[in-house]
Structure 1
Amino acid sequence: MRRLGEAMPKGDAERFSRFLQHQGIDCELRDDDHDQVMIWIINEDHLDTAEQHLRDFQTAPEDVRFQAKSLAPSTHITTTNAVSKAKVSERGRMIDVRNEIFARSPSRQMPITIVLIGLSVLATLASGLPGLGGFSRLLYFSEYLGGNFPEIMHGQIWRLVTPIFLHGGIWHLLFNMMWIYQLGGAMEIHEGSRFLLLFTLIISVLVNTAEYLATGPMFIGMSGVVYAMLGYAWIMSRHQYNSPYELGPGTTFIMMAWLVLCLVGVIPGVANTQHVIGLFLGGLLGLYRSRYISTWLRQARRK
């Protein structure tokens, strides 16, 4: 299923969708956030033809071909039913990451999420125990200033990832684990355990490396991964048809407000590079997987 063009007024969208149905092109309508309507083409093989019809419609919207009297009377009913079914289906597939995740069985549906939380708790507790300081130092990205990656270049490649498991205190740990459970859990349920594992590993390597090059080696925490998950779920909820993600405005506001407070220095000692790079990378992946980028490029080439 692919989005056709940009949002348009409801009346125009309904009239053009009736024309498409009359041409044998199944489509569905979806309201956007600005009182306009998007048209989605169900069979991607029909997208090129639908785009040509759309250009004709935009050039001459009052052409007799697009008038209701020239279309079969049953088409309007078909489109209306399709929209209703789409909305019901969409509501059934959505998961509100703020609370619905807590109603699910975590051990079976979210094993990677539970492992991430477990490793974070163990590593953070161990780092505070007497006699285990040497162990916790092995989890830092590096023990040396500069951008030469000394330990990693000598084979300690786990350091690319392991700083995410260390946290600076109970509140730091609880804050990050709450978001990992909600955002990471939702991703694992809908995208699969392998996807979440690869997502976490790749994002960890990238945000940790960026933070190391920007500020030095002594950083800890999973906030970069959390912001990548936020960016991914946020973009997917806005640009993927029937997205299973639903981020409430309060969730997004809290996370973005926290990011801004950290950036301006109200909350000191924070790995801001991780936050910003994570949010950017997660959003970029969301744009790719929602096919927003490929659709935009296709439309740009045709203009």
Structure 2
Amino acid sequence: MQKLLTTRNADMMKRLHSFLQRRGVPVTVSEHGNQLELWLVQSSYSALAKDLIAEFKADPEGAEAELSTSSATTAPRKNASLLQQILQQAGIVTIIYAVLVSLVFIALNTQLAMPLFENLRISDTFSDLPWQQPWRFLTPTLLHFSILHFLFNVFWWWYLGGRFERTYGSVYLLIALFSCAVFSNVMQFMVSGPYFGGLSGVVYGLFGIAVVVAWQRPRHPLYLPIGLIGFMLVWLLLGYTDLLWVNVANTAHSAGLIAGLVLGIAIRIIEHINKTKTAHGS
């Protein structure tokens, strides 16, 4: 997190915050005493943010008018390219892993299904973790056994993973992917053995991260509505009942959520440390 601006002018801060967000810059606003502070969420946008703030300060009305004109001019093109809009919601890691999951799902519906499953499941036995084949700690996340299972997980991976990557960067998403996948897969293996698969543990990990990092921060890019949080938790609890029509890897879901909550707390601590350093430096 990087502090960009401090002001008491609430109207100006509201307009500037809106202007930067509409230009794709991930920013958030916090209160400190009687001051409003504008914070940059992802440091890679620092140069762009400073240029846009200077542009806005020089001529607020002109900057907003130019943005409105630009938006109106490009609207037909955006409406005509739904694929482009969808791709803009994700980063490179989100896209690549979604493609991998999709290719594996297609292959699992061909004659390659059995050898592919044997090479991607977590272990060849019910008693040994794959220390000699470490990719198996991750690859169960590529396995999906029904169209609903596949669509559910890819959608939430794109929605949560895409937002997370665009806010915090590809490295953070890779850390979240590996951490949540390994922990959820190992926990599920210890409970049920090697015959399971799915990206749900990672999805619930990203959900946990989003809940923590955006808690009481409604302007945060990862902020989730209460209704959406409720849906994810209800779905998690339903998995422990006999009400669902599918078999659910409940342990993987819960373990992924726990891993995500821990990662979310770690991110909040890192943000607080960086914010404190910036405040002291200024």
User: Could you say whether these structures have the same fold, taking a TM-score greater than 0.5 normalized by the shorter chain as the test?
Assistant: yes
After superposition, the C-alpha distances for 1:177-228 in whole angstroms (9 at most, x for unaligned) are 0011111100111111122122111211111111111221111000000001
Letter in 2 for 1:264: T
- Deviation of 1:131 (Å): 4.3
State the match for 2:255 in structure 1: 277
Match of 2:120 among 130, 134, 139: 139
Report the 3-state secondary structure (helix = DSSP H, G, I; strand = E; otherwise coil) of the residue aligned with 1:291: helix
TM-score after normalising by structure 2: 0.66
- C-alpha spacing 1:237/1:294, structure 2 compared with 1 (3 Å): closer
Letter in 1 for 2:96: V
Name stretches of at least 5 consecutive residues in structure 1 with no aligned partner. 3-27, 29-41, 43-77, 96-100, 296-303
Match of 1:196 among 173, 182, 191: 173
CA contact (8 A) 2:138 2:178 kept: yes
Say what the alpha-carbon RMSD is for the aligned residues: 3.2
- C-alpha spacing 1:131/1:177, structure 2 compared with 1 (3 Å): closer
Q: Percent identity?
A: 29
Report the 3-state secondary structure (helix = DSSP H, G, I; strand = E; otherwise coil) of the residue aligned with 1:118: helix
State the match for 1:299 in structure 2: none
Range with greater deviation from structure 2 (86-95 or 135-144): 86-95
Name stretches of at least 5 consecutive residues in structure 2 with no aligned partner. 29-81, 274-282
State the match for 1:253 in structure 2: 230
Provide the rounded CA distance (Å) in 2 between the counterparts of 1:107 and 1:239. 26
The reply on whether 1:177 has 2:154 as its aligned counterpart is yes
CA contact (8 A) 1:287 1:293 kept: no
The reply on whether 1:164 has 2:134 as its aligned counterpart is no
Report the 3-state secondary structure (helix = DSSP H, G, I; strand = E; otherwise coil) of the residue aligned with 1:213: helix
- Deviation of 1:246 (Å): 2.0
- C-alpha spacing 1:107/1:237, structure 2 compared with 1 (3 Å): closer
CA contact (8 A) 1:240 1:290 kept: no
- Deviation of 1:104 (Å): 4.3
CA contact (8 A) 1:235 1:283 kept: yes
TM-score after normalising by structure 1: 0.61
* Matched residue count: 213
Report the 3-state secondary structure (helix = DSSP H, G, I; strand = E; otherwise coil) of the residue aligned with 1:136: helix
* The structure with more radius of gyration: 1
Provide the rounded CA distance (Å) in 2 between the counterparts of 1:245 and 1:198. 17
